[in-house]
Amino acid sequence: MKYELKQHFQIESARFLPHLPADHPCSRMHGHSFKIILTLKGDLDPQIGWVVDYHQITQVMQPLLKQLDHRVLNEVEGLENPTSELLAKWIYERALKTLPILQRVTIMETPATECTYPV
């Protein structure tokens, strides 16, 4: 039987969305307290009693968070148009390399909005 794990992270970042009309508020520089939720799915290690160590997930995420936290996301390579959708994909593709049981990344740019990749 598989278990589903979730771990939450938060970053403070600025961005603007360059492909929007000039009169759209998100076309201007603005900031968000982004919540990042990683969802992993895997088998229980019967000897240890867990699927994966949460500390291991944190270690995988630290270099990625360092690139994103307190930064202008448009200046991060691969995030020139840093929509929540593209941010979720950017994190997923990089974290999956060392977390093969990663299922999805959810980005919340406000408490009322969220985007998940992949579905």
Catalytic residue numbers, as ranges: 26, 70, 109
Placement of tokens 């299922």 in the chain = 103
Q: Are 41 and 7 in contact (CB under 8 A)?
A: no
32 is in an annotated binding site: yes
For the record, the structure tokens of 89 come out as 């994909």
Q: Measure CA 41 to chain center.
A: 16
Rounded Cα distance between 94 and 105, Å, is: 11
- The DSSP output letter for 16 is -
Q: What share of the chain is helix, strand, coil (3-state, %, to 5)?
A: 30, 40, 35
Per the annotation, binding residues for Zn(2+) are 30, 32
